[in-house]
Amino acid sequence: MALLKIRTYPDPVLKETAREVSDIDGRINGLVESMVQTMYSAPGIGLAAPQVGESRRLVVIDTDHQNPGKHLLKLINPQIIEREGSIVWEEGCLSVVDYNAEVKRSAKVLARAFTPEQKEIEIEADGLLAVVLQHEIDHLDGKLFIDRISRIKRELYRRKLQKALKEGKTDGERPSGARL
């Protein structure tokens, strides 16, 4: 297991649709374990494989800061199969440096995925877990949370980032605090 480099906007891998995992083997399990360590180290509450440069349909999620690992989800080929209601949640992202925004999401979701043990599972979620599932699955579809905000807000963020990069004020490091 190794810590992986988290890719940041505008890295092109973040815009790709990730490939399905057809064979859950040692390489995939190793990648999942490295993603878990990277997520905790960042610190984050969710991480999708494209965020570490792997265009594969893998996500790891742990929204329980008090008990790391106790409710850890390692999901292979996850998909949302049902949605209900709506909620607005302030989101941040390990791949979107120094920016948070309110995003409208489904309030409740039913997700289906495989575990590293090749067991198919379903997860009923609301609140934070529902938001994180949707956020991470968006990454697998080449979408960032900033793609779900107004064009004006997105453009303001892009200009802020360009200015910071030009002035050498950011080296792609993520700010402290838990991020999706």
Catalytic residue numbers, as ranges: 136
Distances (CA, A) of 13 to 109, 126, 176: 26, 29, 24
Structure token digits, residue 8: 């940041």
CA 25/CA 87 separation, integer angstroms: 37
Q: Which of 110, 87, 112, 91 is nearest to 101 (CA)?
A: 91
Instruction: Determine the 3-state secondary structure of 133 from DSSP.
Output: helix
Q: Report yes or no: 147 and 17 within 8 Å, Cβ to Cβ.
A: no
